[in-house]
Amino acid sequence: MRKFVSQLRRARFWLAACACAAMLAGCAQFKYYFQAAQGQYALWSDARPIEDWLGDPGTDPNLKARLEKALLIRRFAVKELGLPDNASYKNYAALKRPYVLWNVVATPELSLRPIQWCFPIAGCVSYRGYYSKEDATAYADELRAEGSDVQVGGVPAYSTLGWFSDPLLSSFIHYSDVELARMVFHELAHQVVYMQGDSRFNEAFATAVEEAGVNKWLEIYGNEAMREGYLRYSARRQDFLGLLVKHRQLLAENYARKVSDKRKREEKARIFASLKAEYHALRNGAWGGYAGYDRFFSESLNNAHLASVATYNDFLPGFRALLAQHKTFPQFYAAVQGMANLTLAERQARLHQLGQPPAPAPDTVATQSVVSPVQ
């Protein structure tokens, strides 16, 4: 009962905050905040404790097995990764849609800098979330009409940063064990450290925790097939990100050129055509026909599809290095939390410095220059 009252107070506070912000922002913002509050409230009210689902004879046996696995992952997150031991991911909600929400990401036509939106709790972020795909699509159409590049992407899970008890959802509960663990670790990490207005910091940190957590999970609960499968997944993901980063850099160079917008648009089209061609060569070559990223490349690609690559990956090497410097996850979290006192520029400089590979010793360079051609 005490937990219910606490969540009810949080819900009222959140709704009140949204209402105040909406009144200050105008009618259009009111509609957006109302759908956000309504969507979050529906999630919270529809969720039931996992124990209730497990004890219900009408629950599908396959769902019971996934929920039991989720409980094991949740306990592992607390014991082995030092993630919050709270009520998040101890409830389950069955959605009547494939994703919990849809994010709208947008950039100017000749820029990779994502448009930002600012909210009362989350701060400024480079996406705008909708619980209805139709609403997301309608807003995306408005942005396109203004000349922006836009992407609408389904989101299986998100974090309320501890304001609510985030539930497990039907949008990801049937993922493989590794993918389910990855999702839970990533979203719980957002409850440990979150810097308002710094999406690149937040997402790269959560991704670092996710990666390390999955590796540790596989050490204890994985088998050879799972480990090999995850290695293949990781290798393909790195290839995919490498393609995006390469072509994002080409686009950035194109937009910085002192030429007409017409010529920039022509080069932009050529770069995206090259991106698709290189993907198909990779898929049909080194990947042996693996088509897991086909859905991404089936869309009409634009700047917005590449904008989020920076959000998740620019500072990931820095966080990996920082984690390697510390012996435990709590020590790592404390070091990351210590960055809260730094300015945005100072945090970015620190992470950039951490992410630089160490300079090789002179002897190593000489040896490599001799043996590399032979290999």
pLDDT in tens, 83-113: 999 999 999 999 999 999 999 999 999 999 9
Which of 238, 102, 113 is closest to 158 using CA atoms?
A: 102
Would the pLDDT of 281 be above 80? yes
Burial class (CB in 10 A: 0-12, 13-18, 19+), 128: buried
- Give the per-residue pLDDT at 109: 97
* Per-residue pLDDT tens digits for 209-234: 999 999 999 999 999 999 999 999 99
Say what the pLDDT of residue 125 is.
85
Instruction: Band the pLDDT of 21: cuts 50, 70, 90.
Output: very low
Q: Burial level of 70, CB count in 10 A (0-12/13-18/19+)?
A: buried
Rounded Cα distance between 167 and 288, Å, is: 37
Question: How far, in Å, CA of 267 to CA of 260, rounded?
Answer: 11
To which residue do tokens 């947008």 refer?
A: 106
Q: 358: pLDDT confidence band, cut at 50, 70 and 90?
A: low
pLDDT at 197: 83
Pairwise pLDDT comparison (19 vs 194), residue with the higher score: 194
Return the higher-pLDDT residue of 2 and 287.
287
Percent of the chain with pLDDT over 90: 73
CA dihedral 187, 118, 138, 202 (to 10 degrees): -20
Sequence-ordered list of residues with C-beta below 8 angstroms from that of 52, at least 6 positions apart, any chain: none
Dist CA 179 CA 169 (whole Å): 13
Query: Which helix H or strand E contains 221, and what residues bound it?
Result: helix 199-221
Q: For residues 291 and 324, is the Cβ–Cβ distance under 8 A?
A: no
Write out the two tokens for 300. 């009409």
pLDDT tens digit string along 331-348?
999 999 999 889 999 999
Pairing of strands 149-155, 48-49: unpaired
Rounded average pLDDT over 336-362:
84
pTM recorded for the entire structure: 0.85
* Better-scored residue on pLDDT, 267 or 41: 267
Q: Are the beta carbons of 188 and 202 closer than 8 angstroms?
A: no
The answer to whether 84 and 78 have CB atoms below 8 angstroms apart is yes
Number of H helices, E strands in the chain: 15, 8
Q: Are 190 and 336 in contact (CB under 8 A)?
A: no
Q: Which residue has the tokens 């509609």?
A: 31
Upper half-sphere CA count for residue 86 (Cβ side, 13 Å): 19
Render the burial of 295-333: b for 16+ CB within 10 Å, e for the rest.
eebeeebbbbbbbbbbbbbbbbbbbbbbbeeeeebeebb
- Return the bridge partners of 118, or none: 124
Contact 115, 123 (CB under 8 A): no
CA neighbor of 248 nearest in space, from 268, 232, 262: 268
Span 347-354, average pLDDT: 94
Task: Record the tokens describing residue 249, joined without a space.
Answer: 């850099």
Per-residue confidence (pLDDT) for residue 27, from 0 to 100: 60
- How high does pLDDT run on average in the chain? 87
Cβ neighbours around 220 below 10 Å, total = 8
